Amino acid sequence: MHPSSLPGTSARGSWLKKNRRDGAQPMPNDNSLHGRIILIVEELWMIATALAIAFEAKGAQAVLVKHSHPDLANVPNVSAAVLGSHSRDLCQQLRARGVPFVVYTGHTKIDHECSAAAIIEKPALSAEVVARVETLLT
């Protein structure tokens, strides 16, 4: 299945896609994120996809974004987010909406709005990122 683009997204070298595996069901007793929408902002497709699969295994719907300036109007019910280190404006928007987020980055220091968030250093297992988000939502 090919992910579908969200309306109103830019085609200028970036992508904003919903990643759904039709027919896939969460494993029994492992749907702690069932019905949650998780925004994943990651430039590297391989990492974004691995994170999406891990979140979907817990019952969440993953929305993948390559750039750090998505239109949050296209993701109105976002429950939590996984951001890259260059997401300063997005951190401010999510905080204003009361949406919890983590920063998943290879940088050890972040000196802007995102620095108050939980920081997960790359490389970390997708399961660790999911567990950290689960903690934020409970």
Q: Supply the pLDDT for residue 68.
A: 65
Containing structural domain, residue 95:
4-137
Domain tally, the chain: 1
CA–CA dist 49, 46 (Å, integer): 5
Angle of the 126-137 helix axis to the 45-57 helix axis, nearest 10? 50
Q: Supply the pLDDT for residue 32.
A: 80
Q: Supply the pLDDT for residue 82.
A: 94
pLDDT tens sequence for the chain (138 residues): 333 333 333 322 333 444 444 444 434 446 789 989 999 998 888 999 999 999 999 999 999 987 767 777 777 789 999 998 777 788 888 888 899 999 898 876 666 667 667 888 888 999 999 999 999 998
Tell me, what CATH number does 55's domain have?
A: 3.40.50.2300
